């Protein structure tokens, strides 16, 4: 029975439930005999607070709430994970993978091959911590039951979202779908970036040439910013945390904001990726944590030496080994709706799947993914959510050792700030990498697969063979701060550079990108009080203001020299030889406030100049290539926070980039004063912000270049779930913002309500305690029994 009522009627019953649970907190186990019970209480912007007596009930309430807001997205993604998109949408249409969309047929072949491999069955058969705990299994089962309960109650014809209402492909999900989603999330930095290469391996073998195979492609994982602030850097001596993940704004990799409570067992609030029944980035009463994408490698590629005349056998230590053979059948519908099976043959090696890349008569490549069979991170997130302090959070990470591709930054109420690359990393030492490297590829580590001496090693403290243990991981605990913006661990805190770690975790003493540099500069200015936000030290207000300042470090470093160019040469030559008067453009850039606010006049002109400056340039021989460095002062590893800097206006690429930019604007009658609020949108909502390449902290990225009408395609990734937390002795004080809002349903009142806040620079004050939740006048409760 489902009952919805307003706060006046619900509060007494909810309060009674909480009181009863607090008296005798239940053991964290599946609801008895498969029965589930939960309350979903919604506050501002539809944010759900799920209250249950056990993990099964918690998953049940969460699955139901998520389905209310985003059923269509997960129903579509379930088809992807099952390898059934070609049957419903055709083989040539693109998949719904927001990170790396590929044709449906290739996607289906890849996911069918994962299913046929039996890897999920084997992982689920293992006991914790190698396989899922009973609590996690109950949570997943409850989530599936809750999602399906909503679909059953509503019916496909009654779904509120027109995107999938009455669609034949919509149906219940299974626990396998959720486990597959988790497995695929773990593979995001590895196998999931090679889907086409894995799915096309059979065709590559049949059509092998010298040299053969398609171009290699490695999908880029989403990025993020994070601060963990310790007691020495905050005004009141409390621990604080800023989370700013940069994930897609559409599809299955969006965050959903949720508060999950089992009284006496779990009380965690934050961001949870679609289809995952736990919080990945969040806080409890005394600890807050977030993640940024790690620089460490998640895979190695092995170059196989093939047996002469036998392209499906390879040599290891001089002995032949046959490749494994996997037949995968996918159902494809043609234009008439008639279904037919398409069978593909895939090949595997001792290292992993064989790729459709450089498969010749003599060699082939195989992918070894360190997360190929990893679900440990799901229990790790549950344990982190229950941690009381940074020390307990660290113990949780050492127990499960499952973080798939992210750094962890955390702070606690005692004022400790913590950084770790506690992610799963292939055990390849620097010596082994040098000895076994088969080719010099800047994007991936290619090792010699013809000798067992190049197999991954192992550490005594590692939970699994083939990975580094906790003792080898880059870690830093401070009382001032730690930070990361997807750079290597080196300058987590410039006062204590990290250098003693294997190079597979990342580099040291190399140039930092502008987003990393602006993030570090923002901290330094806040600690010195030179940022205009008042006395030194962070408060919750100044943490929020710092994070959303819309600074553009590239402009700060380069604009003074550009002004000198403008004064000296008011007419410049474009790349085709045309002469362009740049005086009005120079005046616009000189008057620009240097920010990326909605009304910042000249911000888009600067972006287009910066993009042209970094784009391909014509060489003396007529070929296009990257420009020579236009920095005036080159990078100096002794001064990594202030170099490179300045604009070398003697470099002809600078003048050409400005001339080409101004001509594009004037030719298309685009105002030189074009603002972010005029040029970039998410649906009907104008969006502030700029790109990471320019040196912007809370960055955004659009779906393509500026068009001739002065508008970018819609924003498709960037700052997604913003969270600023102050961990006080009285409990957490938190402000959040889900930039693309809670629901993907365009008809929902919560489809763009928080996006409008983002547009105006506003955040949401979180309700975390029972008193805060029940104090919301319009609270609506759905009670599931």
Active-site residue identified among 76, 133, 224, 269? 224
**Segment (H or E) for 148:** helix 134-154
Buried b / exposed e over 582-620, threshold 16 CB at 10 Å, is beebbebbeebebbbbbebbbbbbbbbbbbbbbeebeee
Are 299 and 425 a contacting pair, CB within 8 Å?
Answer: no
pLDDT at position 387:
98
> What is the token pair recorded at 516?
């990393």
On the 0-12 / 13-18 / 19+ scale of CB atoms within 10 A, 379 is: buried
Are 459 and 468 a contacting pair, CB within 8 Å?
Answer: yes
Taking the CA of residue 545 as centre, how many other CA atoms within 13 Å lie in the half-sphere pointing to its CB?
Answer: 12
Query: CA distances (Å), 352 to each of 146, 197, 198, 301, 346, in order?
Result: 36, 13, 10, 9, 11
Residues found in the chain: 785
The 10s digit of each residue's pLDDT in 724-762 is: 999 999 999 999 999 999 999 999 999 999 999 999 999
The 10s digit of each residue's pLDDT in 228-245 is: 999 999 999 999 999 999
HEC sequence for 208-272: CCCCCCCCCCCCCCCEEEEEEECHHHECCCCEEEEEEEEEECCCCCCEEEEEEEECCCEEEEEEE
pTM score of the predicted model: 0.94
SS3 751: coil
pLDDT at position 220:
55
SS3 768: coil
Strand ranges in 263-338 using DSSP code E only, listed in sequence order: 266-273, 281-283, 287-293, 299-307, 310-316, 319-322, 324-333
**Segment (H or E) for 138:** helix 134-154
The 10s digit of each residue's pLDDT in 560-578 is: 999 999 999 999 999 999 9
Nearest of 393, 310, 407, 301 to residue 355 by alpha carbon: 301
**Segment (H or E) for 86:** helix 85-89
Residue 527's pLDDT band (cuts 50, 70, 90):
very high
The 10s digit of each residue's pLDDT in 476-510 is: 999 999 999 999 999 999 999 999 999 999 999 99
Contacts of 300 (CB under 8 A, 6+ apart): 368, 426, 428, 444, 445, 446, 447, 456
| Average per-residue pLDDT for the chain | 93
- Cα-Cα-Cα-Cα torsion 236, 238, 241, 242, nearest 10 degrees, comes to -10
Instruction: List, in sequence order, every residue forming a beta bridge with 326; answer none if it has no partner.
Output: 346
Are 411 and 230 a contacting pair, CB within 8 Å?
Answer: yes
Check if 748 is active-site: no
Residue 34's pLDDT band (cuts 50, 70, 90):
low
> What is the token pair recorded at 301?
């590629």
Would you give the DSSP letter of residue 477? E
């Amino acid at each position: 029975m489902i009952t919805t009522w307003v706060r006046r009627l619900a509060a007494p019953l909810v309060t009674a439930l909480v009181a009863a649970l607090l008296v005798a907190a239940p053991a964290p186990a599946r609801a008895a005999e498969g029965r589930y019970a939960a309350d979903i209480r919604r506050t501002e912007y539809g944010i759900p607070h799920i209250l249950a007596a056990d993990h099964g009930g918690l998953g049940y309430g969460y699955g139901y709430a998520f389905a209310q807001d985003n059923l269509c997205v997960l129903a579509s993604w379930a088809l992807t994970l099952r390898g059934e998109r070609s049957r419903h949408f055709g083989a040539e249409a693109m998949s719904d993978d927001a990170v790396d969309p590929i044709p449906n047929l290739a996607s289906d072949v890849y996911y069918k091959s994962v299913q046929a491999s039996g890897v999920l069955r084997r992982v689920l058969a293992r006991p914790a911590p190698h396989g899922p705990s009973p609590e996690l299994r109950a949570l997943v089962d409850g989530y599936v039951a809750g999602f399906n309960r909503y679909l059953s109650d509503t019916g496909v014809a009654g779904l509120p979202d027109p995107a999938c209402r009455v669609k034949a492909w919509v149906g219940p999900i299974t626990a396998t779908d959720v486990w597959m989603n988790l497995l695929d999330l773990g593979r995001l930095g590895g196998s999931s970036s090679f889907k086409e290469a894995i799915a096309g391996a059979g065709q590559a073998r049949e059509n092998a040439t010298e040299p053969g195979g398609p171009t290699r492609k490695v999908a880029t994982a989403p990025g993020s910013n994070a601060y963990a602030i310790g007691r020495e850097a905050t005004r009141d001596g409390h621990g604080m945390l800023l989370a700013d993940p940069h994930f897609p704004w559409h599809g299955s990799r969006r965050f959903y904001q949720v508060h999950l409570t089992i009284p006496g067992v779990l009380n965690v609030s934050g961001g949870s990726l679609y289809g995952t029944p736990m919080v990945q980035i969040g806080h409890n009463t005394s600890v807050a944590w977030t993640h940024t994408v790690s620089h460490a490698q998640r895979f190695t590629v092995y170059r196989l030496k093939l047996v002469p005349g036998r392209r499906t056998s390879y040599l290891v230590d001089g002995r032949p080994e046959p490749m494994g053979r996997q037949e995968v059948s996918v159902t494809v519908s043609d234009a008439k709706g008639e279904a037919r099976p398409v069978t593909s043959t895939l090949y595997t090696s001792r290292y992993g799947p064989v790729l459709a890349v450089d498969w010749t008569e003599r060699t082939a490549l195989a992918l070894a993914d360190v997360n190929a069979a990893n679900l440990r991170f799901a229990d790790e997130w549950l344990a982190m959510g229950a941690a009381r302090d940074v020390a307990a959070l660290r113990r949780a990470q050492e127990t499960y050792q499952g973080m798939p591709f992210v750094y962890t930054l955390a702070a606690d109420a005692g004022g400790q700030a913590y950084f770790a690359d506690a992610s799963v990393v292939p055990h390849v030492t620097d010596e082994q990498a040098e000895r076994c490297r088969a080719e010099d590829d800047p994007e991936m580590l290619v090792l010699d697969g013809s000798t067992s001496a190049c197999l991954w090693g192992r550490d005594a403290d590692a939970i699994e063979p083939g990975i580094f243990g906790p003792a080898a991981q880059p870690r830093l605990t401070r009382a001032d701060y730690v930070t990361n913006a997807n750079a290597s661990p080196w300058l987590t805190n410039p006062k204590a550079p990290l250098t003693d770690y294997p190079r597979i975790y990342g580099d040291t003493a190399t140039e930092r990108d502008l987003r990393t540099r602006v993030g570090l500069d923002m901290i330094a200015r806040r600690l010195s009080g030179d940022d205009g936000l008042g006395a030194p030290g962070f408060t919750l207000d100044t943490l929020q203001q710092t994070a959303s300042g819309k600074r553009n470090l590239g402009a700060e470093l380069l604009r003074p020299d550009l002004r000198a160019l403008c004064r000296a040469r008011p007419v410049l030559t474009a790349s085709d030889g045309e002469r362009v008067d740049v005086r009005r453009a120079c005046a616009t850039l000189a008057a620009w406030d240097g920010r990326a606010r909605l009304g910042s006049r000249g911000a888009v002109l600067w972006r287009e100049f910066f993009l042209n400056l970094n784009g391909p340039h014509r060489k003396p021989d007529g070929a296009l290539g990257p420009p020579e460095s236009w920095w005036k002062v080159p990078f100096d590893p002794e001064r990594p926070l202030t170099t490179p800097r300045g604009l070398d206006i003697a470099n002809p690429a600078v003048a050409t980039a400005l001339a080409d930019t101004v001509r594009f604007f004037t030719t298309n009658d685009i105002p030189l004063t074009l603002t972010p609020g005029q040029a970039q949108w998410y649906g009907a909502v104008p969006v502030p912000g700029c790109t990471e390449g320019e040196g912007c902290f809370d960055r955004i990225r659009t779906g393509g270049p500026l068009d001739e009408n002065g508008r970018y395609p819609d924003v498709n990734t960037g700052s997604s779930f913003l969270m600023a937390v102050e961990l006080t002795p009285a409990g957490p004080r938190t402000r959040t913002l889900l930039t693309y809002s809670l629901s993907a349903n365009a008809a929902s009142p919560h489809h763009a309500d928080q996006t409008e806040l983002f547009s105006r620079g506003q955040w949401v004050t979180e309700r975390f305690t029972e008193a805060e939740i029940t104090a919301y006048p319009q609270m609506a409760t759905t009670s599931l029994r």
